[in-house]
Amino acid sequence: MLKEGKKEKIIGLAILVVVIVLVVIIKGVVDYSSGKNLTIVYGAVGGGKEDFIADEQFNKILKDRYHLKFVADSWGNGSTISKPLVRETVHYGNTSLPESSLSVNNDQCSKYDLLFTSDERYLTYYRGEPKEDEAERYRVLKGSLTLNTPIVFYSWDTVVDALEKEGIVSKEDDVYYITDFNKLIDYILADKTWKDIGLNDMFGNINIASVDPVSSSPGATYYGLLLTILTNGNESDAAREEALPKLKQLYDKSGYMGVTPADLFEKFMKIGQGTYPLIVDYEKSLMEFRNRDPEGYENVKDHLRILYSKPTVTNSHCIATFTEEGNQLLKAFDDKDIQELAWKNYGFRVAGSGGVTDVSVVDMPGIPSRITSGAKGLKMDTYNRLIEYLEKGE
């Protein structure tokens, strides 16, 4: 038998070991809860996905499965090219540094691990060498299309019925398509009215409401689609230059465009077809609206129509990584639960899914599982020329 003193020492040692283990466990839990053991990934993030990036479930998956914390700073797409992509320029990090010393090559600057653009052309452009008036750039380790959503058109049942009779819209497998976009363009340029196609209670000329392509990336994407349609997909400079005057006519007939994409869709849904018979937006906007305002969606869903053009273009949100930490976050987007969350709650189709999306999980009529008629996005120089012509007409 153990002597009493020795027994007490063993018990005391055992208690000490238990206490140490508990302290380690508690410290681990506290550190985990406070984020101390997480790898922080800093990203310069373009617009259109703010709610998804801030989503509690998205961030919980990053934390629990990948031990990552994503710190996202908002950047305009154009600013990522024209300004040094360092955290000082958005008032983070060492803000005492003078503007002249801000550079991705200055070790005193707080750097980013990745760029998350809201337009594929900026990923392509960022990979190239900067021009004389542009900021220095990081070396891109990996670049990937991550989230995407096609350009679509929203309208109402009676309007779509009238456009269907005109041979502009057709229905295939319960999905509405604008199959003769050139005819719709001709109607707009000829100042045809809604009454001319049998909508006697509606006033004004046939038109498509959009945001301004000069100041808005979604608007520019739409006008890029119009340019592709007007040239019948001809990518030559001559064909595009020939189409620009007609594109400018469409722009001039569009009227007031001083709204954001979110404002335009909100007004379309709440004011209705009298003021907004037909608008252009992204597919994701409808799903975001339904999740944000389920009662409002229920009130209009039977009369609402979503139309896909043939061809259409897809707005792709792309990640360019600069560090291994950035690579870790990019890899996390392969997570099936993150992909389902992006689609079901925020309407983002996920790159890498083979082009097929499970539309049953969103339970919304009129949405195809596959976008079969897509057009390539235009290069940055073509967009710049398009915008210049819309502004100056020359």
Domain count, the chain: 2
pTM (predicted TM-score): 0.86
Asked, for residue 53, whether it belongs to a domain, the answer is yes
Asked, for residue 211, whether it belongs to a domain, the answer is yes
Whether residue 276 sits in one domain with residue 234: yes
Q: Pick from 171, 151, 153, 154: which is nearest to 304 by CA?
A: 154
pLDDT tens string 155-208: 999 999 999 999 999 999 999 999 999 999 999 999 999 999 999 999 999 999
DSSP string, 267-308: HHHHH-TTT-SEEEEETHHHHHHHHH-HHHHHHHTTTEEEEE
Q: Does position 12 have pLDDT exceeding 80, yes or no?
A: no
pLDDT tens string 326-352: 999 999 999 999 999 999 999 999 865
Whether residue 202 sits in one domain with residue 328: no
Whether residue 387 sits in one domain with residue 238: yes
Helix, strand, coil in percent for the chain, rounding step 5: 45, 15, 35
Structural domain span for residue 90 = 34-148+318-346
Asked, for residue 15, whether it belongs to a domain, the answer is no
Whether residue 154 sits in one domain with residue 144: no
pLDDT tens string 84-139: 999 988 867 666 788 888 999 998 899 999 999 998 999 999 999 999 889 999 99
Whether residue 299 sits in one domain with residue 163: yes
The span from the CA of 222 to the CA of 281, in Å, is: 8
Phi (first) and psi of residue 220, to 5 degrees:
-65, -40
65: CATH: 3.40.190
